[in-house]
Structure 1
Amino acid sequence: MRRALSFAVAAGATRAVYEGLRRLPRDARWTRTNHAGREVDLYAGPAVVLGAAAGSGSAPVALAVLAAGACGAYDDVRGDHRRGFRAHSAALRGGEVTSGAVKLLGIGAASLVAGALLKERPVDKVLAGVVVAGSAHLVNLVDVRPGRAGLAVLALAAPGLLRGSPAAAPMGAAAAVLADDLGESTMLGDTGAHALGAAVGGAIAAGNGRLGLAAHAAALVAAAVWGERATSSRAHPCG
């Protein structure tokens, strides 16, 4: 019953926010040209942030979702062409705080706080934080084509339904705008992808003990390393 309620709250809130944003005058800051050259809005992003947070039923998870969404929104509005940890770390060492650095530091800090609130033992707190941050990064990493991030969220969160209701929130939020995303009328952007990923990570952290947290953390770190290498290869095809 709680799972169904969480799903319904997340889906309903997401849809209501999305429809409300679509009625507003089009804002160029929240408009993009997608891979097919079509102009789409980014309104699905803020919608899933609020929907996933509302349906989470967990203050720590909601905190991580809202923080991840806020950092992603900053990147959507103020981001530049640089990609990958190396590029943003290099800029940070040079005294420049890029939008990517804001995401890295902001989402990382919020994830560690959420992990600390979700778990009791120090090691588990850190592992939970890594899982939340890693999940946020992973979903954003796969968000390269219409609907891919939403489908990834549904696949990643579904097993968590066996352990409790938190996994239902990102599923409900993603499902509410999936058809629009696949239809190329909107996209999640960094705002929505990071927030949904954090929600999935929060559900994983809440439903697993130390062994499960360690396994998920290791897999997510490996995915981040692979993603960094792939990003570097695209940026330096002759390197």
Structure 2
Amino acid sequence: MIAIRFASLRHSNFSRLFAPKARCDCRILAKIEISTNTMTQHEKPAHVPPDFLPASLRNEARSISLSKGERLFNQGDTVEELFFIESGELKAIRLQLDGTQAIMVRAHAGDFFAESAMAVPRYTCHAEAVCPSRLLAFPVEAFRDALAQDGRFALAFSLTMASHARRQCSRQERLRLKRARERILHLLTCEGNANGVLEWRSPLVEMAEELGLEPETLYRTLRELEQEGTIERNRSRIRLLRPG
């Protein structure tokens, strides 16, 4: 789309300026600025379920879209489905006896979610979308049957769950660290990519919850790490430049 902006005009009478047979006088227009708007919105492509998922399960899946903050299920609901996250992010929240909430799991695009619910009759946590998210929901009984009947699928899924378990162990290890600085550096080391970059598209208050820190403590510590050259931040990215 071409946008033409008239910055200033010598004549205020537009009819005189654009009258028939009028000649363009450079003195009349002090400035004409022409700009082309070429911005396009790029959406992160959705993840697809892994190849090891049997066709029978794919055929039984249903799509779910969640808005930010929307609940997927509640603690105590009967287990009926488990999920694969195509895009977005979810967190599992457990209500404690004292009325507080604890984040048990954060899952991202490309992860299975609530797979441990196959072993219990009711969900043990709330599930909530951290941002707009799209999921595939699989009937839990069909998933159990496929695992029992397809050895290749069972092995591949078990290895995937082992990887998730390692991430959870790292998370528990991180929460046992006493200093905010140590928790942040542990997160960047364990969850960042090969270049030391952590993509964090949620508000920083969500990171504070994940790390078990007060938001003000997180903001202050990130600023200190940035000032000393240990990390650099660019919008949704935090890069570890050197070990703390």
With the shorter chain as reference, the TM-score category is under 0.3
Which has more radius of gyration? 2
Instruction: From the two aligned structures, give the one with the greater strand fraction.
Output: 2
Instruction: From the two aligned structures, give the one with the greater helix fraction.
Output: 1
Q: Bigger relative contact order, structure 1 or 2, given CA contacts below 8 A and separation 6+?
A: 1
